[in-house]
Amino acid sequence: MTVFDVPLSQLRQRQSMKWTRYPPDVLPLWVAELDAYLSPGVKAALTRAVEIGDFGYHGAPILEAAWRRYAADTWGLSLAPEQVTGCGDVMSGMAAIVQHLTPAGSAIATTTPIYRPFRPAGRVGGRRLVTCAMTPAGRLDLPGLAALFERERPAAFLLCNPYNPYGSIASPAELAELAALAAAFDVTVVADEIHALVTDPAASFTPYLAVPGAETGFALASASKGFGLAGLKAGLIIAGSKRTGDLDLLPYESKTGATSHLGLIAQTAALDLDRDWLADLNTEITAHKRQLAKALAPFGLSYEPSPATYLAWVDCSPLGLTDPAGHFRLHGKVAFNPGTDYDEGAGQWIRINVATSSVILAEAVRRLGAALAAA
Ligand SMILES: Cc1ncc(COP(=O)(O)O)c(C=O)c1O
């Protein structure tokens, strides 16, 4: 049995966003939810919490401690207790940093195409969002960012690493160069590292706060993407060693006051007990990306398996469709994210969530093919 062998009939009983947005005849491979069984440690911890009625307010900083252990064991990143605090989820943590730690009226920079909620997070309180396109290979355009920083003088740069939607991972050299640019232009880097747990076993991820010069930045983390726990709200804000005092400037309701006790219990169990399960998940995701690349090729679509995330960013322009995602949904009954979710100019792209069984993935591509035959 693999982690993704959940029967379709059971997935369809889920009430989460992925399984309820579209009618039941549409196969959903869009929003970043996992079609996986719960990992065993998480299941046991949540079952126990239900059995003993452990539904009160959060207690000790268990997730902060579990993350510090995980970061040290996985990336050799040593974090002091005062650097890490809980938050409701990654996006609310990002919005809180922008709101409380950048001056009102400032510019906030990010890259495009980008996970859509980065935009409102950068515009909090009327701040001005300024953007720099990623390179066609899905990497940071560092000269472009330097020019943007010089021209717009943003107070913060919202970094997505690993990258949604490309699935790329910034190298230590790229991150160090970004940190140097940030220092030169007095920009606070806010690194969303929510996909850090979902990496190809052959790839390596470097946390932003591990590179020289990153001490003035922040990172945002969560085990929710890797373990399929997005609905149990919990995330982490991690301050660079020179910014720990700034965590006191964030209101309680943007920090641990917003976490769900069950989310903390679940993510703590995940990080401490289910690392083998995560390794299996990553092995399967790598296999699914290869399966997808092979299955798309006969349609003239090329996809190069990415080193991180379970999201495949696919250019459909060879097909000559006006709205590929809409076409596949209407004529093939299969839902992918349209590229316009990430960039207004990316209408020819789709994002495919491969965190599902290989059977469902094969059926999704079959439906894509049927939609093309119907065109
Ligand atoms: C890059 C990125 N950041 C944040 C999130 C959402 O995280 P949260 O639910 O913790 O706000 C997602 C969800 O897919 C994501 O892809």
What is the per-residue pLDDT for 248?
Answer: 98
Model confidence at 374, in pLDDT bands (50, 70, 90)? confident
DSSP state of 299: G
Q: How much distance in Å is there from the Cα of 91 to the middle of ligand 1?
A: 6
Ligand 1 pocket test target in 91, 198, 205 with most atoms within 8 Å of CB: 91
361 ligand 1 Cβ < 6 A:
no
So what's the pLDDT on residue 186? 98
274 φ, ψ to 5°? -115, 35
Q: Is the CB of 310 under 6 A from ligand 1?
A: no
230 Cβ below 6 A of ligand 1 = yes
Calculate how far, in angstroms, residue 226's C-alpha sits from the geometric centre of ligand 1: 11
Kindly state the average pLDDT of the residues 149-173.
Answer: 98
Q: What is the phi-psi region of residue 186: left when phi exceeds 0, alpha when psi lies from -120 to 50, beta otherwise?
A: left
What pLDDT, on a 0 to 100 scale, did the predictor assign at position 261? Answer: 97
Question: With 80 as the cut, is the pLDDT of residue 364 above it?
Answer: yes
Nearest residue by C-alpha to atom 1 in ligand 1:
164
As beta bridge partners, residue 237 has: 85, 220
Q: Describe the crossing of helices 324-332 and 358-374 by its angle, rounded to 10 degrees.
A: 100
**Percent of residues, the chain, with pLDDT higher than 70:** 100
User: Does ligand 1 lie within 6 Å of residue 161's CB atom?
Assistant: no
pLDDT at 30 over 80: yes
Is 115 a pocket residue for ligand 1 (Cβ < 6 Å)?
A: yes
- Looking at the chain, the domain(s) classified CATH 3.40.640.10 span 44-273
Ligand 1 touching residue 194 (CB < 6 A): yes
User: Could you identify the atom of ligand 1 that is nearest to the CA of residue 31?
Assistant: 14
* 193 Cβ inside 6 Å of ligand 1: no
**How far is it, in rounded angstroms, from Cα 241 to Cα 70?**
18
Ligand 1 mean position to 92 CA, how many Å?
10
Q: Answer yes or no: is the C-beta of 32 below 6 A from any ligand 1 atom.
A: yes
Determine the atom of ligand 1 nearest the C-alpha atom of 163. 1
Query: pTM surpassing 0.95?
Result: yes
Of 169, 194, 232, the one to substitute when testing ligand 1's pocket (max ligand atoms within 8 A of C-beta) is: 194
Q: Residue 244: which pLDDT band, with cuts at 50, 70 and 90?
A: very high
The average confidence (pLDDT) of the chain is 97
Distance 308 CA to ligand 1 centre (A): 14
Question: In b/e form, how buried is each residue of 245-284, taking b as 16+ CB within 10 angstroms?
Answer: ebbeebeeebbbebbbbbbbbbbbbbbebbeebbebbbeb
Determine whether the shortest distance from the Cβ of 247 to ligand 1 is under 6 A: no
According to CATH, the superfamily of the domain at 8-38+275-374 is Aspartate Aminotransferase, domain 1 (3.90.1150.10)
Read off the pLDDT of residues 63-92 as tens digits, 9 standing for 90 and up.
999 999 999 999 999 999 999 999 999 999
pLDDT of res. 255: 97
CATH code of 44-273, in short, is 3.40.640.10
Amino acid making up residue 309: T
- pLDDT, position 126: 97
163 lines ligand 1 (CB under 6 A): no
Instruction: Calculate how far, in angstroms, residue 160's C-alpha sits from the geometric centre of ligand 1.
Output: 10
pLDDT digits (tens, 9 = 90+) for 45-58: 999 999 999 999 99
375 has a pLDDT exceeding 90: no
| Residue 91 Cβ < 6 Å to ligand 1 | yes
Domain with CATH 3.90.1150.10 in the chain: 8-38+275-374
What is the pLDDT at residue 178? Answer: 98
- Over residues 309-355, the pLDDT tens digits come to 999 999 999 999 999 999 999 999 999 999 999 999 999 999 999 99
Q: Is 224 in the pocket of ligand 1 (CB under 6 A)?
A: yes
Q: What is the pLDDT of residue 263?
A: 98
State in Å, rounded, how far the first CA of the chain is from the last one.
Answer: 37
* pLDDT, tens digit, 9 for 90 and up, residues 301-316: 999 999 999 999 999 9
pLDDT higher than 80, residue 8: yes
Q: Is the CB of 160 under 6 A from ligand 1?
A: yes
User: Residue 353: enclosing H or E segment and its boundaries?
Assistant: strand 349-353
- pLDDT per residue over 179-237, tens digit each? 999 999 999 999 999 999 999 999 999 999 999 999 999 999 999 999 999 999 999 99
Cα–Cα dist 81/85, whole Å: 8
Q: Indicate whether 137 pLDDT > 80.
A: yes
pLDDT at 290 over 80: yes
DSSP, residue by residue, 209-248: GGSTTGGG-EEEE-SHHHHT-TTS--EEEEE-TT-GGGGG
